Structure 1
Amino acid sequence: MMTNNSKKIMFLGAANAQVPVIKYAKQQGYYVITADYLPENPGHMFSDEYYNVSTTDKDEVLKLAKQLGIDAISAYASDPSAPTAAYVCDELQLVGSSYESVNILSDKTLFRRFLSTNGHNCPWYYSGSEPYDLLNKYSGGKAILKPVDSSGSKGIHVIESTEDILSEFDQAKLYSRTGRVILEQFIEKKGPQIHGEGFVINGKVIFLHLGDQYFSTVNNLIPYSTIVRSTEHEDIMPLVYKKVKEVIDQVGFNTGGINVEVMRDINDEIYILEIGARNGGNFMPQLMKHATGFDLVKANVDALFEIDISFNNNIRENGQFAQLILHSNKDGVFKGLNIPGILKDRIYEQVLYYKEGEKINKYRSSRDVVGVIIFKLVDDREFNCYQLELKKNNWIYVE
C-alpha cells in the first residue's frame, strides 16, 4: 500500500469513540498525533505521538499544530474539541469548516439566536452566567436548564419553578467551559426524537440519514437507542432533511461530519435542537455504515486530505438497524450481559468498556456508558421484541 507517512494528522481526543478513526488513519499510512489531557485514553496506544494538552485550549493546540507542522486536524466524535479544530483550520488554512460556523453550532445560545434570525422554529430561551440573569426573565412553566457548551447530557435539568432554577443552576454551570447556562422552553414532543448523522463536503450535504431516538428509562434526558430507518416520522422526514440542509447552507459549514437532533412537537412543528459540528459518539458512524454502506470513519479522514468521497444511496431496504447504549440503573459491579435469545444472533457489532467484576455507575451522563451494541432487526417480531426490551431496560447484570 502507498504510504502517506509524510502527512500528519492530529486528532483532538483519543477516547473509545475515537479509536476507529485513529486506527483508520494509521492504516492509510498517515503519521497520527493524538492530543488530550487524559494519557490513559485508549486511542493513544495507536498513535505515533501523544501530547498532553486540553483540546479546548485553542491557542495551545494551535501552537502545538504549528510546531509539529500538521497537515490536518480532526475533532471526530468530540463536541468540546470542534471549535478548537475549526480555529486551527482557519489559522493554518487547512481543510475543515470556519471557526465562526462551528462556534455557532457549538454554543446553544448562539445556535438558538441563529435559528430565530434565519426563520426556523426556535423555543424561547434565556442565557446568563448567574441565576438572576434567568430569574428576571422566566415567567413560569416547564423548561430545560443546561450548559450552553457542554455535551454528553451533562448538567441538564428539567425546571418547573424559580426554586428549581436556584437549586440546579450551579450544577449546570459546573459543566460549562464559559460559565454560562441556558434556560429554554420544554417542547412537548410527538413520538421519539429524530436523530442521525450527516457529512458535508464544500458546503453540500452529501450524506444524511436520520432515525428514531429513544431515551433511557433510568434518566429520560440521556439517549438510549437510535433506530434507522424511522418508523415514527416517515411522513415528515423529507421536510426535516430539507430544513437541516438549509441550516448547513445558511451557517456556512464547509466540510466535515454533523450529528443531528430534531424534535417534532404535538402540533407537528419541527424544531432543530442541535447540529453538532462533528459525527456522534456511541458508534453512531458504525450504525450508519451498517444501515447505508456509507463509511463516516473513512470520510472523516479522506475529506481532510481532499480525497474524493462519493455516496450513492445504498440504504438497506430490508430490516432496520438499532444502536443500543448499554448502561446501568444503579451503581454496582458489572456481571455481564443479558441479551434476549431472539436478538443474540442479530448483533452486528459490539464493544464493552468494562470487564466483568469492574465497578460501573448509574447512567447519569455519557461518562457512564458501559458499552454499545448494533443490531439488525430483520422483521416485525424482532423489532417488537427490541422495543419491549428497551422498556424493560434490563440489558446488563449488575450487583
Structure 2
Amino acid sequence: MKKVLILGGSFFQVPAIQKVVELGYYVILCDLLKDVPGKQYAHEFYQVSTSDKKSILKLAQSLQIDGILCYGADSGAQTAAFVAEKMGLPTYPLEAVEVLTNKELFRKFQRRHKFNTPKAKGYSRYAEVKEEVDQFRLPLMIKPVDSSGSRGISIVRSVLQLEEKVNIALSHSKVKRFIVEEYIENYGPHVGGEGFVVNGELVFRCFSNEQFSTSQKNPFISVIASWPYMMPQKLHLKIHNEIQRLITLLNLTTGALNFDIRIDENENVYLIEVAPRNGGACNCKIIQYNTGIDLIEYTIKASLGEDCSDLKQVEPTGYWSDYVIVSQQPGKFREIKIDEHFSKKHLVEYELLVNPGQDIDFPEESYEILGTMVLRFSSMEEMLKKMKNIHNWVKVNVETRNKLTYRNLL
C-alpha cells in the first residue's frame, strides 16, 4: 500500500485526507496541533510543525513515504517540495514554490519577466517605508511576505494608517518582512478558482467570481465564490495565457494551482497570487459539481507520480456558489437561521463548524469561520442577485449582553 504524507489536518484539509483513504492509500498526517479534525481519518498522526522542513524530512525518510502534499494551505508547501526533492518524489521545483509562496519574491519575478504587476517593494521596518511612501500612489496594500489565508493584510488609504498596518503585517510574518504595493481596482469581479498542470501545460482551469467581506475586521476574507466566471471568453483566454507563461517560466510540471487575479479597466491581467496548491473552502467540491472533474484525486495522483494525462478542459455547467459564513457581531453563537424556501430551492450542502454557546469574534483570518454552504441557482442573474442579498436568507444568531441579535453576514 502506497504511503502519502499529508501536511496539515484542518477542516479544509479533511477532503484530501478522506480522498487518499478512499483511493486505498495509507495516510500519514502531520500537524503542529494535536487535536485537528483530520486526525480521525489518518492511519498515523505525528505532532510536527508543517513548516519544520528538517523534522518532516527525517520523518518521511524513516516512514519511506511514496508521496507528500500540502492541500489547501501555503504553510507546508515549501516543506512538501523540499522533502520531495530530497527523496526524489514528484513535486513542483522547490525554487518555484519558494517564489510562489513569498509575495516579495513573486513581485520581483513578475517584474523581471514583464508581467503586469502593481508597483511594490519589500521592507523590514516601518522607518524604511516611511521614507519612501511618497513614491507610491494611494491606496496601498500592506502584506506580510510569507502569510496566507488573508492573515495580516491591510489596505492603507491615508499615510496616518501606515504604521499601524505595518505592525499588523510584521506580527503575521515569520521572517519579519512585508511588502507595500499599490492597489489595483477591479474591472468586473475579482478572479479566483483552480487550475491543474500536466507535464508543464495548464490543461484545466475553472475561474470563479470572488466577493470579499468588506464590513469585517479583515475585509480581504473571501466569503462568496461563484461559478462560472461571468466575464467574456476573451478574458478567460487572456488569463489562461498569462498563467501558462508563468508555468513555463517556473518549470512547473504536474500539480494543482489556486488563483487570485485582478483585471483592470484596460483588461490587463494581474496575477496577484498563484499558489502551488488547491484552494480551501469548497472550491474543489463545487468544481466537481459543475465539471465532473475531481481535482483532489488528480492532486493525490500527481504527488505519487501517477498518470494524469487524461485530464482535459471541461467547461462548467449550471450556476453555483460557495458561501463562507462569518459573523458580523462578537458574542456567544446560538444558531444560523436559514430561510426555509431559500434552503429548499438552493442549498446543496451545508456544514456548521461551531457549537451553540461557543464564543465567536470578528474573523481576522480565513479559517475563523462559522460554516460553509454550497448553493445552486437556475441562472447567472438569479445567482448574482440572491448572493448579493444573501443576508436576507441566512443570518447568524448571536447573544450579546443578554440579548439575541440577528446580523447579516457580509
Fold shared, TM-score > 0.5 on shorter chain:
yes
2:119 maps to amino acid: W
Once residues 295 and 350 of structure 2 are traced to their aligned partners in structure 1, the CA distance between those partners, rounded to angstroms, is 18
Once residues 149 and 277 of structure 1 are traced to their aligned partners in structure 2, the CA distance between those partners, rounded to angstroms, is 14
Q: Which residue of 2 aligns with 1:378?
A: 378
Shift of 1:394: 4.8
The answer on 1:308 being equivalent to 2:307 is yes
Once residues 337 and 18 of structure 2 are traced to their aligned partners in structure 1, the CA distance between those partners, rounded to angstroms, is 30
1:40 maps to amino acid: D
1:77 maps to amino acid: G
Q: Which residue of 1 aligns with 2:123?
A: 128
- Show CA shifts across 1:4-26 (max 9, x none): x2x21100000011111111111
CA contact (8 A) 2:338 2:393 kept: no
Q: Which residue of 2 aligns with 1:329?
A: 328
User: Which of residues 133, 140, 145 is equivalent to 2:142?
Assistant: 145
CA contact (8 A) 2:203 2:313 kept: no
Question: Kindly tell me: are residues 217 and 233 of structure 1, through their superposed partners in 2, closer, same or farther at Cα, counting changes over 3 Å?
Answer: farther
Question: Kindly tell me: are residues 339 and 53 of structure 1, through their superposed partners in 2, closer, same or farther at Cα, counting changes over 3 Å?
Answer: same
Q: Which residue of 2 aligns with 1:180?
A: 177
* Secondary structure of 1:207's aligned partner: strand
Q: Which residue of 1 aligns with 2:362?
A: 362
Q: Which residue of 2 aligns with 1:95?
A: 90
CA RMSD of aligned residues (A): 1.8
Once residues 313 and 143 of structure 1 are traced to their aligned partners in structure 2, the CA distance between those partners, rounded to angstroms, is 37
Shift of 1:307: 2.7
1:388 maps to amino acid: K
Once residues 147 and 222 of structure 1 are traced to their aligned partners in structure 2, the CA distance between those partners, rounded to angstroms, is 15
2:193 maps to amino acid: G
- Show CA shifts across 1:169-216 (max 9, x none): 221111112111111011122222011001112222221110211111
Q: Which residue of 2 aligns with 1:398?
A: 398
Shift of 1:390: 3.9
Matches within 5 A, 1:23-42: 23-42=18-37
Once residues 290 and 120 of structure 1 are traced to their aligned partners in structure 2, the CA distance between those partners, rounded to angstroms, is 33
* Secondary structure of 2:338's aligned partner: coil
Q: Which residue of 2 aligns with 1:279?
A: 278
CA contact (8 A) 1:56 1:84 kept: yes
The answer on 1:68 being equivalent to 2:63 is yes
The answer on 1:221 being equivalent to 2:220 is yes
2:377 maps to amino acid: L
The answer on 1:83 being equivalent to 2:78 is yes
Question: Kindly tell me: are residues 393 and 149 of structure 1, through their superposed partners in 2, closer, same or farther at Cα, counting changes over 3 Å?
Answer: farther
* Worse-matched range after superposition: 81-90 or 214-223: 214-223
CA contact (8 A) 2:144 2:172 kept: yes
Q: Percentage identity across aligned positions?
A: 30
2:142 maps to amino acid: L
2:375 maps to amino acid: F
CA contact (8 A) 1:212 1:232 kept: no
2:116 maps to amino acid: N
Which ranges of structure 1 fall in alignment gaps of 5 or more residues?
Answer: none
1:210 maps to amino acid: F
- Show CA shifts across 1:116-162 (max 9, x none): 11111011111121112222222152100010010111101111344
Shift of 1:261: 0.9
Once residues 6 and 61 of structure 2 are traced to their aligned partners in structure 1, the CA distance between those partners, rounded to angstroms, is 14
Shift of 1:303: 1.7
CA contact (8 A) 1:342 1:382 kept: no
Which ranges of structure 2 fall in alignment gaps of 5 or more residues?
Answer: 400-410
- Show CA shifts across 1:267-303 (max 9, x none): 3221110001110111211121111111011111122
Question: Kindly tell me: are residues 208 and 228 of structure 1, through their superposed partners in 2, closer, same or farther at Cα, counting changes over 3 Å?
Answer: same
1:373 maps to amino acid: M
Q: Which residue of 1 aligns with 2:408?
A: none
CA contact (8 A) 2:205 2:313 kept: no
Using structure 1 for the length normalisation, give the TM-score.
0.93
CA contact (8 A) 1:11 1:76 kept: yes
Shift of 1:381: 6.1
Aligned length: 393
Once residues 332 and 48 of structure 1 are traced to their aligned partners in structure 2, the CA distance between those partners, rounded to angstroms, is 37
Q: Which residue of 2 aligns with 1:344?
A: 344
Q: Which residue of 2 aligns with 1:253?
A: 252
- Show CA shifts across 1:228-248 (max 9, x none): 102245441110111111111
CA contact (8 A) 2:227 2:316 kept: no
1:203 maps to amino acid: G
1:14 maps to amino acid: G
Once residues 393 and 273 of structure 1 are traced to their aligned partners in structure 2, the CA distance between those partners, rounded to angstroms, is 32
CA contact (8 A) 1:125 1:183 kept: yes
Question: Kindly tell me: are residues 8 and 384 of structure 1, through their superposed partners in 2, closer, same or farther at Cα, counting changes over 3 Å?
Answer: closer
Once residues 172 and 142 of structure 2 are traced to their aligned partners in structure 1, the CA distance between those partners, rounded to angstroms, is 12
Using structure 2 for the length normalisation, give the TM-score.
0.91
Once residues 82 and 359 of structure 1 are traced to their aligned partners in structure 2, the CA distance between those partners, rounded to angstroms, is 32
User: Which of residues 11, 20, 26 is equivalent to 1:16?
Assistant: 11
